[in-house]
Structure 1
Amino acid sequence: MTSTGSILVVDDDPAICVVVGEALRRQGHKVKTASSIRERSALIDSFAPDVLITDVMLPDGDGLEGVADILDRKPGLSVIILSAQNTLNTAIRATEKGAFEYLPKPFDLNELSRAVGDALGMNKAEEGKQEDAGLPHDGLPLVGRSPAMQEVYRTIARVLSNDLSILVLGESGTGKELVAEAIHGLGQRRTKPFVAINMAAIPRELIEAELFGYEKGAFTGANVRTAGKFEQAQGGTLFLDEIGDMPMEAQTRLLRVLQSGEVTTVGGSKPVRVNVRIIAATNKDLPKLIDENRFRQDLYYRLNVVPISLPALRERREDVILLAKHFLERAAQEGLPRKTLADDAAQLLMAYHWPGNVRELQNLMQRLAVLSRENVIAAEVLRNSLPLDLVPSDYTAPADQLGLAVREWAKRQLGIGIGQPNRNLHDDMLAVVEPILLQETLASVDGNQIRAAGLLGINRNTLRKKLTDYGLDPLQLRVSD
């Protein structure tokens, strides 16, 4: 049995309230939202939530203040803290106030869903009820906490309450259909059908019959009247995938349907009124196709009311490990062996350029869940599963990979340092990292110490002392002409 409860979501960003609220409602929870401490206080008493999800930075004060008092009054309440101030101090404060969980922004919605499930499971256990704490983690079928994906989430939140046409843009494998499913599943048409059609997968001569349906006897093999995708999606959402591959003659008829709201079947004469939301998607450059007279400009404007651009996976590398773990967990839930990633394997995943995007990563994780003999997937296993050009020559390691490098360095030093209690690992690490940071910063500003100090967030005298301590000559750190 699934544990559901009442959830109060407090955030001054309306997009977060909409997306989180709708996702949790879809899982069966009762949800109310608030945007301030004042509103939060009123709803704590009147709504009596099982779980409070609250931001730290609220318009009328610090969201952490008052949490301890709330828990004193409501001992059965679980508090999940959200914060864009991703600092150790914020995490410590959240723990000290008695928070059940702390999630830094940008957060992943599935991660928040798991935290809510854990919180409700704890509450039910305290009440003596034997219920499964797990929740369905499909509140939003998208995973990612990168800034690019957060912008996608915000756009999704803005279109849930209207029926504007949407054009989803992105390379193959980035998850365009998942965006369409999310908009439908969280929106006001979610109780009606979601129908998808891929224009590139249908022979040109059959596209109109597939979209608009056909009458008995309209062509050879048409033995009965068959409803098209528009009629099948009545009241719901029609997803037109790979719209850039639609032939011009079909584009003309599609435009007419979008303008009139009526479809006429192939071989028919009586129009049928349809009410559907249109979401289209493509990996093609539609403006270029328009210039080449291969796509109608008026249809483009009709479809592109709200554009959503999905980033390639190589442009959101900070999401790679999160996605990989998500796919491994999903594989385990589907009955495949449970696997985890070793740190060296995670480094390789971060370095790979992912030409097949999220779909390629998902397929790889499923394959490794089946074929990997060990429970922990190591780098050597990945080397045998990925193409030889694993790391592009122009690849620059992101901050996540720096963190992995620091972790490996610390592990090695701690292993070496056993039995040497007087070692100063903090200073040892600074001696490795800080000179590189100083050198690169000074080089970027042609040796200008005032500008370098500003970029580093330190004063000029401190910078001079550090240069002296490390034996660095600023005159030699200028970019040559």
Structure 2
Amino acid sequence: MTNRVLLVEDDRAIATVITEALRDEGFDVTACSSVSKRDALLANHGFDVMLTDVMLEDGDGLASISNVHEAAPNMPVIVLSAQNTLDTAVRASDSHAFEYFPKPFDLDELTHAVRQATKRSAESAESIDGEGEGSLPLIGRSKAMQDVYRMITRVLRNDLSVLVTGESGTGKELVAEAIHELGSRRTGPFIAVNMAAIPHDLLESELFGHERGAFTGAVSQQIGKFEQANGGTLFLDEIGDMPAEAQTRLLRALQSGKIRRVGGRQEIGVDVRIIAATNKDLGPMIANGSFREDLYYRLNVVPIHLPPLRERREDVGALVKHFLGQAVAEGLPNHRISDAAIKRLEAQRWKGNVRELRNVVFRLALTAREDVIDADTVDDALPATQEMASGSETPFETALQAWLSGSSSAPGVLYHTALAAFEKPLFEHALRETEGNQLRAAQLLGINRNTLRKRLSDLEIEPERYVRRR
């Protein structure tokens, strides 16, 4: 029996590509471009699965999704959207979508999802109202962030343990907060514990609590983080810094759902969801015995990896504008930012990731003298330790060594011949390394910016040629 697919998409080019791909796989595809046409087709025909865009000719495809569930309660719905934000992903999840695909999507993945959707009916689940979702600070429309959003929506209605990995400053705690605030435990407490910030000899007391007199200084009973998080979420940040002896007790608590306060005899039942995070590679730590393998598997039921900012540069502009808005809310002057300034920020390596970018934006908001933040203002605000993203060109030093090995070293000629041979390629190399940023190029060369500009003019070098085009 041929599976029937209803495609609701108002972009004709995308509709044609999807239709042809699904028909090649043996599906019977009917396409329309509006909510009204969709409802008419559902009223008169039966479909096995529906694919729908969010923004359609006559309205929001998700806003009226309840009509679809009423007309075809067992039909899986796959959502497609160019509005690639966490809010959209959550709305799709709240609408009980079978799957959510941000545009542009992988056609093979979409075809596979349609095939899977036809094998089973959409699962019913309690609706989550998504209170507060508009203020969530997870921002980005890059493919890497879309993958994060999709994983978040998949864990909202269950209590599976989540392990969030990523470099410092990428926003791991924001992911944990999003899962809690949008999930079924949002009415319970969210308790965060930073393993690296607690002395090892006090960690068990912090997690499990202690009884009066349990150790020197325990003058009263203390309730631990597990009990404080009962009915909600316990976020264990920097789990890779947890000492071995505490790992054993944590594993026992996760396995049994019970904890025992330090110095206590009674076991106490706790109902918590565990989200852990680390910026370390736990694989080598498991290999050398510093992190328990069984604990790793207990925590890493659902892995979510946050990419570093340098791997999603297309999100920098949106983050900058968001942080400028935050700066205004905190009493700093209101500024706009030029496209050239954003490109300058996109070109940085951002070793401190989103946290470092936020600090720089707040510095710009505080120090900028003009209403519009321009590229020169950005250059002045960037710390001297900040690095530019470099390409794969052969380093100048390598070329210089190769030239010296084959050149004449006759007295009085080496400096002038080397200067004539390498001054122009040296400046070009500096511009490539800094993507046309003359201030950074001058700093790299160790010369004054005015000197650089004069020599660029003398050598007929156009710095604009080296600015990265996006």
TM over 0.5, yes or no? Answer: yes
Aligned-partner Cα distance in 2 for 1:276–1:40: 42
Q: Which of 84, 104, 108 does residue 107 from structure 1 map onto?
A: 84
Deviation at 1:140, TM superposition (A): 3.2
Amino acid at match of 1:281: A
User: Relative to structure 2, which stretch is displaced further, 207-216 or 138-147?
Assistant: 138-147
**Partner residue, 1:250:** 246
* RMSD between aligned residues: 3.3
**Partner residue, 1:235:** 231
TM-score w.r.t. length of structure 2 = 0.59
Alpha carbons of structure 1 residues 229 and 166: separation in structure 2 relative to 1, 3 Å: same
Does the Cα contact within 8 Å between 2:166 and 2:279 map onto a contact in 1? yes
**Partner residue, 1:155:** 151
Aligned-partner Cα distance in 1 for 2:53–2:139: 29
SS at match of 2:314: helix
Q: Which of 40, 50, 68 does residue 59 from structure 1 map onto?
A: 50
SS at match of 1:384: helix
Instruction: Write the mapping of 1:313-332 to structure 2, written as runs, cut at 5 A.
Output: 313-332=309-328
Residue-by-residue CA offset, 1:231-281 (whole Å, 9 max, x unaligned): 000000000000000000000000000011001001111011000000000
Amino acid at match of 1:165: S
Amino acid at match of 1:228: G
Does the Cα contact within 8 Å between 2:164 and 2:278 map onto a contact in 1? yes
Unmatched tracts of structure 1, length 5 or more? 1-9, 12-35, 43-57, 68-78, 83-102, 114-134, 397-403, 406-431, 438-481
Alpha carbons of structure 1 residues 185 and 137: separation in structure 2 relative to 1, 3 Å: closer
Q: Are residue 378 (structure 1) and residue 369 (structure 2) matched?
A: no
Aligned-partner Cα distance in 2 for 1:112–1:158: 10
Aligned-partner Cα distance in 1 for 2:54–2:322: 30
Does the Cα contact within 8 Å between 1:212 and 1:231 map onto a contact in 2? yes
Instruction: Write the mapping of 1:419-434 to structure 2, written as runs, cut at 5 A.
Output: none
Alpha carbons of structure 1 residues 253 and 61: separation in structure 2 relative to 1, 3 Å: closer
Unmatched tracts of structure 2, length 5 or more? 1-7, 10-33, 41-48, 63-79, 91-130, 394-434, 437-463
Aligned-partner Cα distance in 1 for 2:349–2:371: 25
Residue-by-residue CA offset, 1:383-426 (whole Å, 9 max, x unaligned): 12213454233279xxxxxxx99xxxxxxxxxxxxxxxxxxxxx
Aligned-partner Cα distance in 2 for 1:365–1:111: 26
Aligned-partner Cα distance in 1 for 2:38–2:330: 39
Q: Are residue 299 (structure 1) and residue 295 (structure 2) matched?
A: yes
Aligned-partner Cα distance in 2 for 1:203–1:62: 51
Deviation at 1:378, TM superposition (A): 1.4
Deviation at 1:59, TM superposition (A): 3.3
Alpha carbons of structure 1 residues 310 and 372: separation in structure 2 relative to 1, 3 Å: same
Q: Are residue 262 (structure 1) and residue 258 (structure 2) matched?
A: yes
Alpha carbons of structure 1 residues 334 and 41: separation in structure 2 relative to 1, 3 Å: farther
Aligned-partner Cα distance in 2 for 1:149–1:62: 19
SS at match of 2:351: coil
Deviation at 1:62, TM superposition (A): 7.8
Amino acid at match of 2:388: V
Does the Cα contact within 8 Å between 1:167 and 1:304 map onto a contact in 2? yes
Amino acid at match of 1:208: E
**Partner residue, 1:23:** none
Aligned-partner Cα distance in 1 for 2:267–2:186: 26
Does the Cα contact within 8 Å between 1:195 and 1:232 map onto a contact in 2? yes
Residue-by-residue CA offset, 1:427-461 (whole Å, 9 max, x unaligned): xxxxx99xxx9xxxxxxxxxxxxxxxxxxxxxxxx
Alpha carbons of structure 1 residues 40 and 248: separation in structure 2 relative to 1, 3 Å: farther
Amino acid at match of 1:333: A
Alpha carbons of structure 1 residues 65 and 232: separation in structure 2 relative to 1, 3 Å: closer
Aligned-partner Cα distance in 2 for 1:363–1:252: 38
Identity %: 58
Q: Are residue 143 (structure 1) and residue 139 (structure 2) matched?
A: yes
Aligned-partner Cα distance in 2 for 1:248–1:394: 42
Deviation at 1:219, TM superposition (A): 1.6
Residue-by-residue CA offset, 1:43-68 (whole Å, 9 max, x unaligned): xxxxxxxxxxxxxxx9378877761x
**Partner residue, 1:88:** none
Q: Which of 218, 237, 241 does residue 214 from structure 2 map onto?
A: 218
Does the Cα contact within 8 Å between 1:141 and 1:181 map onto a contact in 2? no
Residue-by-residue CA offset, 1:179-208 (whole Å, 9 max, x unaligned): 000000000000000000000001010000
Does the Cα contact within 8 Å between 2:35 and 2:61 map onto a contact in 1? no
TM-score w.r.t. length of structure 1 = 0.57
Q: Which of 367, 371, 391 does residue 394 from structure 1 map onto?
A: 391
